[in-house]
Amino acid sequence: MKFIDEATIQVLAGKGGNGVASFRREKYIPKGGPDGGDGGRGGSIYAIADRNINTLIDYRFARMYRAKSGQNGRGSDRYGKGADDIILRMPIGTLVKDVNTGEIIADLVEHQQKVLLAQGGAGGLGNLHFKSSTNRAPRQCTNGEDGQDFELKLELKVLADVGLLGMPNAGKSTLIRAVSAARPKVADYPFTTLQPNLGMVRVDQNRSFVMADIPGLIEGAAEGIGLGHRFLKHLTRTRLLLHVVDMMPLDENTDPVHEAQALVEELRKYDESLFQKPRWLVLNKTDMLPDDQRAETCDQFLRQLEWDGKYFIISALTGEGCKLLTYAIMDYLEQNIHQAEAVDE
């Protein structure tokens, strides 16, 4: 299935039914009085988060959602029937925005979370509501209200604990295959990843986290060059970023230090808050380095990059260092969650 992470839809809630002016007419009851009923309410439109849905593909082709209007009121104190609501099921992680104002209407982050998108119009009042001691035969009634009408933009931001960053062919897909059951495409050429992939990394029986792999970034991504810029938003919900570096690029003229610096700069240009997220360095493909040069090559890279943060030396292909990396991630996430809970308390 093609991965669709954006869509624009129109939602139009139903109009309320009109109230009616009616009078009771029965034999032997010459002054029956008003008996006009109210109109029914119009149908509303709701969004519900569903963990069984992965993309917004349904909303790419069906863009108009119109709820039915409520029925008009009738005589003999009969109220109009309210219209049924429309339920739109969306993936967890969907952000709903008003196209015209940019206001965030909903952020669906939990399974079965329900949010009102467009309120149906209230039904009009029948003339039985207007009777009084001085107005025994009211002829007033009101029309139903119009339902709300919005043009909405849907953005899917996948929910993951850890996000993988890196240039094309850095080995991100190989890493997520090595530590999880996810099976993204892997090949010896750049841009094999064309859509985000999620993998559940199970560290122990009761300890696990979700890792997200997005298409590789290239220099100029913040200005729209390449594919990765379209999917950077999927990393905004993560708690930790892993910057995967190819220590043995296909092109011998490629400088890993320059590529690492360029990626960090693209991250800064795209979103300062994303740039400020905790980020670890993962030096990949070290199995291709000569054994007697591996440590020196990695140390030289770190010195030239002036990196003073946390780093790991791994080979996603052989699995070397991957287990140590996943345990460190799990410990960090658990500590981070506990600290957040302590702050909330």
Residues in CB range of 230: below 8 A, 6 or more apart: 5, 215
Cβ-in-10-Å burial (0-12, 13-18, 19+) of 201 comes to buried
| CA–CA dist 208, 188 (Å, integer) | 29
Task: Decide: helix, strand or coil at residue 51.
Answer: coil
For the chain, the average pLDDT equals 83
Per DSSP, helices labelled H in the chain are: 58-61, 172-179, 256-270, 272-275, 294-305, 322-344
Q: What percent of the chain has pLDDT over 70?
A: 87
Number of Cα atoms under 13 Å in the Cβ half of residue 108:
30
| CA–CA dist 176, 182 (Å, integer) | 7
Contact 170, 249 (CB under 8 A): no
Residue 287 DSSP label:
G
Placement of tokens 């009009």 in the chain: 124
Placement of tokens 């030289």 in the chain: 300
What confidence category does residue 39 fall into, taking pLDDT thresholds of 50, 70 and 90?
very high
Kindly list the structural domains of the chain, giving each domain's residue range(s) and its CATH number in brackets, ordered by start.
Answer: 1-156 (2.70.210.12), 162-344 (3.40.50.300)
| CA–CA dist 214, 333 (Å, integer) | 20
| CA–CA dist 191, 184 (Å, integer) | 12
What confidence category does residue 132 fall into, taking pLDDT thresholds of 50, 70 and 90?
confident
* pLDDT computed for residue 224 by the predictor: 52
pLDDT tens sequence across 59-116: 988 899 999 999 999 888 889 999 999 999 998 889 999 999 989 999 998 999 999 9
